[in-house]
Amino acid sequence: MEFLLNLIIRFMVKVLKFPLKPEKNANFINMIDTIESLNGLVFDISFYDNEWVAECRNLKGIVTGGERNNNSVEKLEENIKDAVFSAFGVPAYLCNGKYLVKKENKGSSNSQLTIRPLCLQ
């Protein structure tokens, strides 16, 4: 599925001259290169009574959180991706969660999440 999405994005950029070109943005490129060099960003997620906090283990300073009772797993992942985009200064028009995907952590609990660029999946 990710391969197909990546293929569609490349088609839109190259053939249709789609105006959103993340590969031309220095902050976006820096984000992708950094995440690739770290083999993904690993987030430790702590759950409390009514809230959760996710902190990046291998790149300090990326932290996010939310209310536990109102946030589904998808919302938690969305907040983490937004925090990654913000940490690298990626412009709002390029902040699309499709560029970052969750990598399954084999043998880890549900209190850990790894985010990788789409092209690495």
Q: For residues 5 and 1, give the distance between their C-alpha atoms in angstroms, rounded to a whole number.
A: 6
Task: Give the chain's domains with CATH numbers.
Answer: 25-120 (3.30.160)
- Its pTM stands at 0.74
Q: Are 76 and 4 in contact (CB under 8 A)?
A: no
DSSP letter assigned to residue 105? -
pLDDT in tens, the chain (121 residues): 677 777 776 776 666 555 467 777 888 899 999 999 998 999 999 988 888 899 999 999 999 998 876 557 788 889 999 999 999 998 877 888 888 888 766 655 567 788 888 754 3
Using DSSP's 3-state secondary structure scheme, residue 81 falls into helix
**Ramachandran angles phi, psi of 79, nearest 5°:** -65, -40
Q: Are 76 and 54 in contact (CB under 8 A)?
A: yes
